[in-house]
Structure 1
């Protein structure tokens, strides 16, 4: 294997270890995964890593184009909960002229996106909408074959505060959040599958 590929494949994600700071992305997915990822660097196989690199590259390309038209890229947002936990995040794209939040996602899957993944994506969008009091929100999913799916949402209030406090307490007191009642498609792609469910996927 060339040195270039060795560098690209030798990649791991490390989550924040700041007890009082919680990322929106952590709250948008399985809380058990987010808890474990704070304690163990997550490594992915080569195929998954390349898909992640493609998605990140697409994000940067689209954000650069949109910035020329008045959109704000990687807009940082913060909010404190009643229990003192700070929720932080970076919105992919924000349109100040319409007070609209845009979340950009890339998927290698063709056709309809998995329901669990779609639910997580929409949760993230709704959280950002609540944090910015945005009137509109759009989830833009770009498929590997070039197809684009758009979901439009209006302002709503969510379980952001409750979920952030619950996760914050878990992290602060080192209490592992419970696993799901049964494994789903999110579990099937999770690097902690064996820890939660035992055996192989």
Structure 2
């Protein structure tokens, strides 16, 4: 079954650049944010764990995307949750990516951030210096924001801030179903996808 279309026949890659951002990660987090905004609650940001992205999204010769190929991208069918976090907690979440030899990586939507090196800090060798919403407004450390994440992140000991946030809603769709729903919705609107690396994470030298 065809669930969507792309603007080219090239597979959408899960490979990350040096800043740990990927085109497929952007597509997935964009999908989760867009579908979450249809859930009666305002949602500001989306985060997904890079390790949960298991395969590139294969595009057929006619630029179509098949259900089976979309399903392979996130085969674990993690349920999605909306949690409320402060801007400070979000900054803490982002900083965790740069601990433990960058073992835990997040793909994100709804915000961008800048980070820099801390040469003398072995525990936190890189640190987030600023965060902006897609509106251009800075993320306020004291303000509450609604964030969509998968259950793996919600229960992860690597990111305890997610569990500390207030759970607002559990999705009726899994992460896999959300991506497929997003693609299908664009198809119905006769739109095709062209996800790219957009410098959502910027390293300040």
TM-score range, shorter chain: under 0.3
Question: Which structure ranks higher in relative contact order (CA pairs < 8 Å, sequence separation ≥ 6)?
Answer: 2
Q: Report the TM-score, using the length of structure 1 for normalisation.
A: 0.24
Q: Report the TM-score, using the length of structure 2 for normalisation.
A: 0.23
Rg comparison, structure with higher value: 1
More helix by share: 1
